[in-house]
Chains A and B, each alone.
Chain A
Amino acid sequence: MDMIETRDLTKLYGEARNGLRRSTQQVAVHKLNLTVPAGAVFGLVGPTGAGKTTILRMLATLLAPTSGDASIAGYSIQSDVVRVRRTIGYMPDVFGMYADMTCAEYLDFFASCYGVPKADRATLINDLLQLVDLSHRKDDLVDRLSRGMKQRLGLARSLAHDPQVLLLDEPTAMLDPRARIEMRELIGELRGMGKTIVLSSPILADLEDMCTHAALLVNGIIKASGTLAAIRTKLRPHRVIAIRFLGEPELAMSVCRAAHGVIEAHPPPSLEPKPATTPPPTTTDAAIPAPAPTTLAGPRPLNILKELLVSFNGDYNDASNLLRALMHTGVQVVSFGEEADSLESVLNPVPAPVATPEPDIAIADPPSPSPDRTK
């Protein structure tokens, strides 16, 4: 069963005002069609300005869509607002604290806003504080908490009415690494409790070990969505295996090319000093000259570490067979593993269409954790 479903959900900013329509309109979210199965942890990933917060605010009934609709647990976000609000727990990307309240009062207040009976609230608050590991700060003013603690208190607040669905806007942003890990563990626990969770992050790596599903957003449009594995396949149909070894690169390369599941094998492009004769590494020409270091006359040329990048679309068995074949032919494999750059580069590709033509997927582009978070 799908817990959340959006149908052509669209949001334009700068709408209809004194005839300036169109000229100032800006697309925040364009015809979004998403389904989030019950019990899933769904990640919305995209750079700042991709529309993540807009989507979450629309789902949380805080922002009116320009067109389209969405439903949560079968209730329309436009016509069944109160039911939707009872179904969801929303945590914005800001803390939203009343400085003059203690943690317990803060939770008590929001629990009472959700109509939790007074008799149940004391137990509930203790349970919530325990869940987010803040029991020891129960009577401290919320203002005195650290960022990580505030974020956890915010999560506790969003859980006050035991909602089925959690909408978490960048739950790990602005947290130190330790707090990030704690938040991740908490989300794991909540998933274990059967909650459907939608969360956003500009950093894919943040979500990779938390989410079951994800959607990649760029400029309000979904680039890919589904399970993480499916996205991976869609965006990059093959993986890249990096092999470091001692020995003849030609031999290793020929072994690789003969193996099942290998599309192409070549030395890493940036590491070699480029002789004029070296063709581009992506060429399909089989006769790739040996990397520069091996052509140098030296006493122990074989001891120099070489590297090969193998474009690979086989399964784990094929990978294992490739390694075995390499070892079998006498290639001294030092390391053998999948490149970790993963999907990040897809999300932060070309900065802007400037004069110089850019490749489709800029692998060299470092994953920027979007320092500019002023919204």
Chain B
Amino acid sequence: MAELNTQNPKPQIEISPMFQKELRSRMRTTRTYTVLTVYLAIVSTLAMFLYIGATINAPRANSNSGTIGASIFVVLVGMQIVFVSFIAPAFTVGAISNERERQTYDLLRVTPLASQQIVISKLLSALGYTALMVLATVPLFSVAFLLGGVEMAQLFMALSVVLASAFLFTTLGLFISGRMKSTLGSTILTYVITLGLVLGVPVMLLVGGSLLVRLAGPALVSVGPASAITPGMVTLGVAALLLLSISPITATVISQLSFQATGNVMSVTSPFLYGLSGNGVLLPSPFIILTVLYVVLGFILLALTIRRVARPEQQ
């Protein structure tokens, strides 16, 4: 056997073997390309139908191209959020539980490879693929831009929500995968949480919001002078804003609406509904809250996963 210098812990600059392996395995399967192709096909077909649908009713296309561009943009962003939220965790829900099922988990852990290397490699390879998916839709966004009606700030808002969601849901998948014995269990739990955040929260807020409006009556929605704003209304507005910032869908909708109404990228005002008219207390825009919240949560989940992998098993 070759003489080896195993005493030398950091031999040379080389990409982490785990990361190499993850990328290689990821790009080797046909699933990777299939998912990307299907995703692009769906999104571009939808964009095409939107374009056709909008232009068919308007003989002279350039008269309302801004509206078409804006609607294509909205649909693309919506699709992007939903797709990324559901596809991103798919690449990590099995990341660790699969190693357990393949019975390679112990083999990895018994190597001197640091647990952060194992976990971060898996995270990066999954995020890399999600980023590829987001990047692949950029040409479609450019169509929206060509038609006009969309500002750079809106793209910025949309992208930060999409990327922060991708990060959180990827780490969530990783975290749950590290806790669960089976990939099936990990998949179910991850998707229940993701579904709850992405779609459940908006539905709840919609139902709750309409109930509130019905109960509290026009007092809430009427636009009054700044002096009519009470601290209670501000608090209620802050709470509502935080709730709206939990879900990528509501956060994007409110941020975009607020931007269209006030032209403010980074802030909204509370009480939120007064805020549309520029009164009230300034607060960070929901997409900022969401981005910060998701990134922080993502890092916490990541740290917990690393700790979990590093620890010898108790059972």
Q: Can you name the residue of chain B whose Cβ is closest to the Cβ of A78?
A: B312
Given A13-B315, A61-B312, A113-B113, the answer on whether A98 and B11 have CB atoms closer than 8 Å is: no
The residue in B106, B311, B313 that gathers the most chain A C-beta atoms within 10 A of its C-beta is B106
Contact A159 B1 (CB under 8 A): yes
Q: B179 at the A/B interface (Cβ < 8 Å)?
A: no
Contact B9 A115 (CB under 8 A): yes
Contact A96 B104 (CB under 8 A): yes
Contact B111 A162 (CB under 8 A): no
Contact A120 B111 (CB under 8 A): no
Q: B18 at the A/B interface (Cβ < 8 Å)?
A: yes
Given A94-B103, A95-B103, the answer on whether A62 and B109 have CB atoms closer than 8 Å is: yes
Q: A75 at the A/B interface (Cβ < 8 Å)?
A: no
Contacts of A127 in B (CB 8 A): 1-2
Q: CA separation between A47 and B102, bound complex, in Å?
A: 25
CB distance from A172 to the nearest CB of B (A): 18
Q: B8 at the A/B interface (Cβ < 8 Å)?
A: yes
Interface residue ranges of A283-308 to B (CB < 8 Å): none
**Which of B103, B108, B313 is in CB contact (< 8 Å) with A63?**
B313
Q: A117 at the A/B interface (Cβ < 8 Å)?
A: yes
Q: CA separation between A101 and B104, bound complex, in Å?
A: 13
Q: CA separation between A86 and B6, bound complex, in Å?
A: 7
CB distance from A229 to the nearest CB of B (A): 32
Q: Can you name the residue of chain A whose Cβ is closest to the Cβ of B7?
A: A86
Q: Chain A, 63-94, contact with B by CB distance < 8 Å: what is the 0/1 string?
A: 11000000000000000011001101010101
Q: CA separation between A13 and B314, bound complex, in Å?
A: 8
Q: Can you name the residue of chain B whose Cβ is closest to the Cβ of A88?
A: B110
Q: CA separation between A159 and B102, bound complex, in Å?
A: 20
**Which of A123, A124, A157 is in CB contact (< 8 Å) with B107?**
A157
Contacts of B8 in A (CB 8 A): 115
Contact B102 A98 (CB under 8 A): yes
Q: Can you name the residue of chain A whose Cβ is closest to the Cβ of B28?
A: A100
Given A63-B313, A100-B25, the answer on whether A114 and B1 have CB atoms closer than 8 Å is: no
Q: A110 at the A/B interface (Cβ < 8 Å)?
A: yes
Contacts of B18 in A (CB 8 A): 113
Q: Can you name the residue of chain B whose Cβ is closest to the Cβ of A128?
A: B1
Interface residue ranges of A87-133 to B (CB < 8 Å): 88, 90, 92, 94-101, 109-110, 112-118, 120, 123-124, 127-128, 131
Contact B312 A82 (CB under 8 A): no
Contact A112 B17 (CB under 8 A): yes
Q: B4 at the A/B interface (Cβ < 8 Å)?
A: yes
Q: Chain B, 265-276, contact with A by CB distance < 8 Å: what is the 0/1 string?
A: 000000000000
Q: CA separation between A92 and B20, bound complex, in Å?
A: 24
CB distance from B1 to the nearest CB of A (A): 5
Q: CA separation between A87 and B7, bound complex, in Å?
A: 10
Contacts of A97 in B (CB 8 A): 102, 104
Q: A50 at the A/B interface (Cβ < 8 Å)?
A: no
Q: Across the A-B interface, give the 8 residue pairs with the lowest CB-CB distance, nearest first.
A: A112-B17, A113-B111, A96-B103, A64-B312, A94-B103, A96-B104, A117-B11, A124-B2
A residues engaging B (CB < 8 A)?
13-15, 57, 60-64, 81-82, 85-86, 88, 90, 92, 94-101, 109-110, 112-118, 120, 123-124, 127-128, 131, 157, 159, 161-163, 193
29 inter-chain pairs at a CB distance below 8 angstroms, sorted by A residue, are A15-B314, A15-B315, A62-B106, A62-B109, A62-B110, A63-B313, A63-B314, A64-B314, A82-B112, A85-B112, A90-B107, A90-B110, A94-B103, A96-B103, A98-B102, A100-B25, A112-B20, A113-B17, A114-B6, A115-B8, A118-B14, A120-B2, A120-B4, A124-B4, A127-B1, A127-B2, A159-B1, A162-B4, A162-B6
With A86-B6, A161-B6, A162-B1 given, name 17 new contacts (CB 8 A): A15-B315, A60-B106, A60-B110, A61-B110, A62-B110, A88-B110, A96-B104, A98-B21, A100-B28, A109-B17, A109-B21, A112-B20, A113-B18, A118-B14, A123-B2, A157-B107, A162-B3
